[in-house]
Chain A
Amino acid sequence: MATIVAPPPRASLPRDMGRDGGSGPGASITHRTGVMLGLAAVSMMFIGLTSAYVVSQGLGPLWKQVHLSPLIGINAAVLLASGYAMERARRGISRGWLIGTLVLGVAFLAGQVGVFRQLADEGLYLSTGRQTSFYYVLAGLHGIHILGGVTALAWAAVGMKRSTLELTSLYWHFMGGLWLYLLLVIFL
């Protein structure tokens, strides 16, 4: 009773094997799954918020517009450029490109703060109208995730491990795509 069966000869193992994680080669699969699930959760939060945005659009007259300013465009370009740098860093396992990505990420964040300041100068504060409220919330939450990504980039730049690079790039590209999606929802 209660015995543990010793590993049998390989040939006798059932064909429909389970998957084996733990250490070794399995670990990278596990981490990849974890990151992808995390991104699924992040997506759900933004899907919830953007749905709320779309629904709110149909309500009430006080719908002040945040305008698509040049700075928002520049920021988007910076983020796209950082995606390119990330891809070069990942393929070439290049620290130089990785640091480039990091710098562009920080520049994007600075630019986003700049947009907030521009809005405030125009008198569009967090509570001015529901559209400005949504802009601040969506851009702010996205910014927090970018900040997390910048931290991950710094971590990846220290170790320069292929597996870390792969995961960081997955996350970084997702955040780039997410921002484009948010821009589409807000300005279309």
Chain B
Amino acid sequence: MLLAPDLPGPLLKLLALFFWALAIATATAFIVHPIWLPENISLNGVDVDQQLNLTLCIAGAAFVIAHMLLGLFLWRFGGKQAGRALYWHESHRMETAWTVVTAVIFVGLGLQGSRVWAREYLTDPPANAMTIEVTGQQFAWNFRYPGPDGKFGRTRPDKVDDSEGNYIGLDDGDPAGTDDITTQNVIAIPVNRPIQLIIRSRDVLHSFFVPVLRFKQDAVPGMGIPVHFTATKTGEYEVACAELCGMQHYKMRARFLVMTDTDFNAWLKSRSQ
């Protein structure tokens, strides 16, 4: 019988070492994590981060255990051995055990994650929530506050005029719109107050992404998609576009300001003039 050019031993042991090193190095990188998510400033984000950490632990354990075993088996069975390989190809007990254990862990994780999701997305915003409208366009973010009357005025596509600063097509025929306050590429919100955003787009898809709030939401033409959150820390942050929207997608940025109530009111007042 011919033999294939198979050098046994050292290379397989080297691969075992490689897998072990990979598992240890990756686990260490994730534990030390010089780079991580930006700080969380959202009330809901606390739950998200907790679920993220839990899932990372489970995923990390699965990753490390699998690579440790892979390395171990290569180390143990990669060298020259006498006789024949083990003729063993079935164990109903083991198969049942690992199927059940994985199913319980995976589905359990899914249900746990769904609870976090439901708390955030299947609830109505609190009654005192402040509503702000977000409208994406190629390649800027427009924001609109309803003003003292608490109502947004009508918009019409044919009223859109970028040269006059009417980016969202505010209709001057609607009295509800006269006190609306619009801004471009900067949004301010009061800290510790529930905020509801209505996310829209006037042209292609965009995605409203504020990393410190731990969520993103696509802006879809023809839809007004509501999301709500409460920011818990003042400061200046960034809004990015996370859905490919054209050649300047990478610069579609807005400033995201979280202010104290007094600062916010002053800011809003300065914008309304």
Interface residues of A (CB under 8 A from B): 1, 60
Contact = CB atoms under 8 A, between A and B. Distances in A.
B83 interface: no
Interface of B: 1-2, 222
B222 A60 contact: yes
Contacts of A1: 1-2
User: Chain A at the B interface: mostly helix, strand, loop or mixed?
Assistant: loop
Contacts of B1: 1
3 contacts: A1-B1, A1-B2, A60-B222
Contacts of B222: 60
B121 to A, nearest CB: 21
B196 to A, nearest CB: 23
A60 B2 CA distance: 72
A15 B193 CA distance: 75
Nearest to A2: B2
B43 to A, nearest CB: 34
B184 to A, nearest CB: 28
A94 B1 CA distance: 63
Contacts of A60: 222
Contacts of B2: 1
Nearest to B223: A59
B201 to A, nearest CB: 16
A1 B2 CA distance: 10
A60 B222 CA distance: 9
A60 B1 CA distance: 73
A2 to B, nearest CB: 10
Nearest to A59: B222
A60 B221 CA distance: 12
Nearest to B1: A1
Nearest to A1: B1
